[in-house]
Structure 1
Amino acid sequence: MNKQQKIFFPDNIRFLRERKKLSQEGIAQLLDFTRVKLNALESGKTRNPALEDLVKFSKFFKISIDSLVQIDLSRLLELQLRDLEAGNDVFMIGSKIRVLPITVDSENRQNSEYVPIKAKMGYASGYNDPEYINALPKYNIPSLSRNGTYRTFQAEGDSMYPVPDKAEVTGAYVENWLAMKPDTPCIVVLKGANNFVFKLVTVNKKEKNFILKSLNPLYKPYIVEGEEILEFWEFKKLHLDRLPEEPTEIHEVRQLLEVMHSDLKKLNKKTYE
């Protein structure tokens, strides 16, 4: 069962009002609300604010509705708040909105934490929790720059063939998602249980989403919205315990059958919904 999404809207509008040094009465007049209505919104007594009210707050504070609802704005630095007010979408600048938990060794060098497949379900809720990150296996990779922040994920599936199933991929933490070049190989951490995939990532700045592409041509590219993404880790190293297999006709036929089977399952699911 997915963890219920925390809604920050009531706390955010109170925080932003106080940041502007406005009273409830003052902002209520500016937005054509009654003070009673504003108090109900700020206290969370209004469970489902009207869309018109969300738009009013968004325009007044110059912050997107997504950010008003899903981000705890009180935890951001003033510079980051100004960045949002300037129109930079919080889901596209990505990890600039939070501090990444890291661990260090006895010489104060950053570790590379290891996230195996069995940790997939916990990572979506623990990726921003220092205690969870501290409990992960950790090590150092001498050939990587000491200035970077790295994490190693165990990928699965054959969508990145010839990279084999269960291969371990080390990536460097991407702070600014918009700076990625087209087809940047990344571990992409998504919301949900099966939440990290190894893909070639292209930023679609106009539509504010991302195109994820597999190395395996049997898998079609697909689009993921920015709010569905938690982290990007740009590929730096591949760790294998066996040599990659040469492609064979039998392997290609098996892959094709697997993709067809997957497509049929999706089609049947849509038919009965």
Structure 2
Amino acid sequence: MEDAKLFFNTNLRFLRNRKKFSQEYQAQLLGFTRSKYTALENGKTENPPLLDLIKISDFFKVPLDSLLKVDLSHWSEFDLRKMETGAKEYISGNNLRVLSITVTSDNKENMEYVPIKAKAGYAAGHTDPDYLATLPKFSLPNLPEGATYRMFPTSGDSMLPIPEGSDIVASYVQDWTTLKSNSLCIVILKGEQDFVFKQVSLLEDGKIRLTSLNSNYPPFIVPVDEVLELWQYVRHQTDSVPEPETDLQEIKQLLIDMQKHISKSSMV
């Protein structure tokens, strides 16, 4: 039990100083006398009552086990804020994010396709088995096993050079912390009548930055709790034939090659 309380008093002092509270004010907020609180923070209380520990844990939004056993002063401000808001569990999807799927008669997962006419209802119906049952279902060869796939149609030119109207095959992301910065994803947002296809980056304040491949569109930031699902890009299908390179593109490539050559020459 001695080891379990190793960091309790130092964590208590750290958490109070982080809020810039005096000992007297912190004692008042917890409903303790000043002398009782000071004894806790200075490690003078050998066996703090369990109810007091729970009250402190609830006040600072720190799990009791972490309050006792973890040196919170070594945590980043980002992780501390995530712990307080619950964003850390939300982002990782532990016990919070449930995916509805459909299966074939031999119990294999389908790949659902969300047609244009069903896009507006996806955010509301993405967890509804009855809604998913209405979506077209199919399979594609050569997809990695062990993942859940769905296909989403795109519109607009914000993700050029991926052509407008492409169908994006994407795999479901349960733990968002596994995504690398600027991962291409279909993003399902709360309250939206449409999903978006963007580069996704987790920021250090419990938010997500969404960036277009087309630089004419500025990035925007949303809180993590506004995101319902993330589906990571696997491949896309399109009926657009790539246009041949124009003279301007050839000149641009020539300038890039010249810059590389000059850079190498300057290093010699």
TM-score bracket for this pair, using the shorter chain length: 0.5 to 0.7
Q: Residue in 2 aligned with 1:177?
A: 176
Deviation at 1:237, TM superposition (A): 1.4
TM-score normalised by the chain length of structure 1: 0.57
Aligned residues of 2:62 and 2:83 also touching (Cα < 8 A): yes
Q: Residues 119 and 246 of structure 1: is their aligned pair in 2 closer, same or farther, counting only changes over 3 Å?
A: farther
Deviation at 1:128, TM superposition (A): 0.8
TM-score normalised by the chain length of structure 2: 0.58
The AA in structure 2 aligned to 1:141 is L
Note the 1:136-151 alignment, pairs <5 A.
Answer: 136-151=135-150
Matched, 1:229 2:244: no
CA distance, structure 2, for counterparts of residue 95 and residue 167 of structure 1 = 32
Q: Residue in 1 aligned with 2:71?
A: none
Deviation at 1:130, TM superposition (A): 1.3
Q: Residue in 2 aligned with 1:156?
A: 155
CA distance, structure 1, for counterparts of residue 132 and residue 57 of structure 2 = 34
* Partner residue of 1:242 out of 240, 243, 259: 240
- Please tell me the root mean square deviation across aligned C-alpha atoms, in Å: 3.2
User: Identity of paired residues, percent?
Assistant: 45
Q: Deviations over 1:49-93 (max 9, x none)?
A: xxxxxxx999359489xxxxxxxxxxxxxxxxxx97995534422
Aligned residues of 1:124 and 1:190 also touching (Cα < 8 A): yes
Unaligned runs of 5+ in 2: 1-29, 32-54, 64-81, 248-268
Deviates more, 1:180-189 or 1:96-105: 96-105
CA distance, structure 2, for counterparts of residue 180 and residue 217 of structure 1 = 22
Aligned residues of 1:96 and 1:176 also touching (Cα < 8 A): no
Note the 1:66-215 alignment, pairs <5 A.
Answer: 89-94=88-93, 96-204=95-203, 206-215=204-213
Q: Residue in 2 aligned with 1:22?
A: none
Specify the SS of the correspondent of 2:142. coil
Q: Residues 151 and 58 of structure 1: is their aligned pair in 2 closer, same or farther, counting only changes over 3 Å?
A: farther
Q: Residues 246 and 158 of structure 1: is their aligned pair in 2 closer, same or farther, counting only changes over 3 Å?
A: farther
Q: Residues 248 and 133 of structure 1: is their aligned pair in 2 closer, same or farther, counting only changes over 3 Å?
A: farther
CA distance, structure 2, for counterparts of residue 95 and residue 181 of structure 1 = 19
Q: Residues 237 and 194 of structure 1: is their aligned pair in 2 closer, same or farther, counting only changes over 3 Å?
A: same
Deviation at 1:221, TM superposition (A): 1.4
Aligned residues of 1:110 and 1:146 also touching (Cα < 8 A): no
Q: Deviations over 1:227-250 (max 9, x none)?
A: 11110000001011222346879x
Q: Deviations over 1:14-55 (max 9, x none)?
A: xxxxxxxxxxxxxxxxx98xxxxxxxxxxxxxxxxxxxxxxx
Which 4+ stretches in 1 moved above 4 angstroms?
83-88, 245-249
Aligned residues of 2:198 and 2:211 also touching (Cα < 8 A): yes
Structure showing greater Rg: 2
Unaligned runs of 5+ in 1: 1-30, 33-55, 65-82, 250-273
Deviation at 1:127, TM superposition (A): 0.4
CA distance, structure 2, for counterparts of residue 207 and residue 243 of structure 1 = 41
CA distance, structure 2, for counterparts of residue 58 and residue 132 of structure 1 = 41
CA distance, structure 1, for counterparts of residue 125 and residue 163 of structure 2 = 27
Aligned residues of 1:148 and 1:173 also touching (Cα < 8 A): yes
The AA in structure 2 aligned to 1:242 is S
